[in-house]
Amino acid sequence: MYTKQQLSVSRFFLIFVAGLAALGPMGIDAYLPTLPNLASDFGVSMATANLTVSTFMMGMALGQFLGGPLSDQLGRKCIGLGGLLVFMIASVLIALATTIEQVLVFRLIQAIGGGFTSVICMAQVRDVFEPKDVGKKFANIILVVLVAPMFAPIIGTIISAYGWRAIFVTMAVFTSLMALIYTLRIPETNANTAEKFSFSQVFMGYWAAINNRTNGRLIGLRYALFTGFSSGVLFCYVTNAAFILIEHFEQSKFQFSAYFGAMVFALMVGNRLTARMMNKVELPSIIYWANLIQLITASSLVILCLTTEPKLWQIMLGISVLMACSGAISPASSGHFISLYNKNIGAASSLNSTLMFAFGSLIGGLGSVVSNGELLPIFAVMLACSIVARVILLSARAKER
- Bridge partners, residue 214, by sequence: 217
CA max distance for the chain:
63
113 band by pLDDT with thresholds 50, 70 and 90: very high
Please give the C-alpha separations between residue 311 and each of 141, 244, 272, in angstroms, as whole numbers: 35, 12, 29
Beta bridge partners of 217: 214
Closest CA relative to residue 171, chosen from 151, 183, 156: 156
Give the type of residue at 178: M
Q: How far apart are CA 103 and CA 225, in angstroms?
A: 30
Cβ atoms within 10 A of the Cβ of 235, count?
26
Question: Mean pLDDT over residues 93-114, rounded?
Answer: 95
Kindly state the average pLDDT of the residues 33-56: 87
Give residue 93's pLDDT band: very low, low, confident or very high (50, 70, 90).
very high
The structure's pTM equals 0.74
CA 377, CA 274: separation in Å to the nearest integer? 30
Separation CA 386–CA 382 (nearest Å): 6
**CB count, 10 Å around CB of 81?**
18
What is the C-alpha to C-alpha distance for residues 389 and 260, in angstroms, rounded to an integer?
25
| pLDDT tens string 209-242 | 788 777 777 788 888 899 889 989 988 998 888 8
* Tens-place pLDDT, residues 380-399: 999 999 999 999 999 888 77
SS3 content of the chain, % helix, strand, coil (to 5): 85, 0, 15
- Beta strands (DSSP E) in 21-95 are none
Which pLDDT band holds residue 257 (cuts at 50, 70, 90)?
confident
Give residue limits of the domains in the chain: 4-187+202-400
What is the rounded CA–CA span in Å between residue 108 and residue 90?
9
| Residue 326 DSSP one-character state | H
pLDDT in the model for residue 383: 96
- Distance, in Å, from the CA atom of 66 to the CA atom of 64, rounded to the nearest integer, reads 5
Q: What pLDDT sits at residue 144?
A: 67
What Å distances lie between residue 242 and 5, 250, 281, 304, 308, CA to CA? 44, 10, 37, 21, 22
Lowest mean pLDDT among 59-73, 95-109, 158-172: 59-73
**Residue (of 370, 278, 263) closest to 322 by Cα position:** 263
Give residue 96's identity as a one-letter amino acid code. L
**H runs (alpha helix) in 160-252:** 165-185, 199-210, 219-242
Sorted by sequence, the CB contacts under 8 Å of residue 124 that are 6+ apart come out as 17, 76, 189
Q: Is 44 helix (H, G, I), strand (E, B) or coil?
A: coil
The architecture in CATH of the region 4-187+202-400 reads Up-down Bundle (1.20)
Rounded Cα gap, residues 163 and 90, in angstroms: 18
Q: How confident is the model at residue 143 (pLDDT cuts 50, 70, 90)?
A: low
